[in-house]
Amino acid sequence: MRHPSTPELALADLLQCLAAEAGLARSTLASYRQQGRRFASWMHDQGLAHCGELTTSHLVEFLASLRAAGLAEATVAHHLVVVRLLLRHLVREGELTRDASAALDSPRLASVLPKTLSAAEVEALLAAPAGTSARDLRDRALLEVLYACGARVSEACGLELDGLARESRVVRVTGKGNKTRVVPLGSRAWEALDAWLRGGRPGIPQAAKSARVFLSARGAPLSRTAAWRIVRAAALRAGIGKPVSPHWLRHSFATHLIEAGADLRAVQEMLGHASIRTTEVYTHLDAEHVRSLHRLYHPRGAGSA
């Protein structure tokens, strides 16, 4: 067995393997790096030179230190995920004979339902960029795509021209782990896309050299940060007093489909969820929607659970 690495070297090796073998997004790797560095720093503070010295009690103390620092339970759970990945990687590499995290239970997280918009709020949001400038055409097309196919913001920003199939009215989306899926796009979204591609995008510098659908004013691929700002600005313009993010449109897409009776498996495929359990959270939203209707309209509904 090799001598266990320092936590910094072990983390660097893990991230290199994840980037090469798992195809994780750069944002995910950056998050793992940040959380792994926090763990490495904590180890040094405890006088632990390498991961072979770790015990389950040490890990319990590390998680307690995160809670004492005021971190949310979900963030604590994310740190534990990185620690587990790190230790399992070292076991696979033959640097450790045991995984000190194996005996730990994952923190129990409160069930948090996704934030969604009503159909009326979505309509107002999509109509917010009402002008004819290239910026408005792009912003309207982006908003329509986010809602029409339930894309993650990174997926929408990464859309490429050769992934648009006008005749069959579908788009090819590249999601987590570089997995691709084909998602239908409605007529209004296609109209907004066509308006941008024919009336806005051609006037953008360097547009002809880029494969990306959505570009900045200077011709660079639209960033996730810029997309967030576009969604937030549209929400403010539409008078929606909520901290709307691109993911709200993804959640609204799924919730509205299920409320309309869509098959859960079909919604899972369109969202690109690996597990049906991830998609099932939207059925809880639908159940709350039904209860709200019952309270509102049933003669004995007022005040019922």
Q: Which residues are catalytic, by number?
A: 152, 176, 247, 250, 273, 282
Is 265 strand, coil or helix?
A: helix
Alpha helices in the chain (DSSP H): 7-17, 26-45, 56-68, 73-92, 119-127, 134-149, 153-157, 187-199, 224-237, 246-259, 264-271, 276-279, 281-297
Q: Which one, of 281, 271, 258, 274, lies nearest residue 150 by Cα?
A: 271
Bridge partners of residue 212, in order along the sequence: 160
- Taking the C-alpha atoms of residue 162 and residue 179, their distance in angstroms, rounded to an integer, is 16
- β pairing state of 164-165 and 180-184: unpaired
| Cα 238 to Cα 232: distance, rounded to the nearest angstrom | 10
d(CA 264, CA 251): 14
Cβ–Cβ < 8 Å for 190, 145:
no
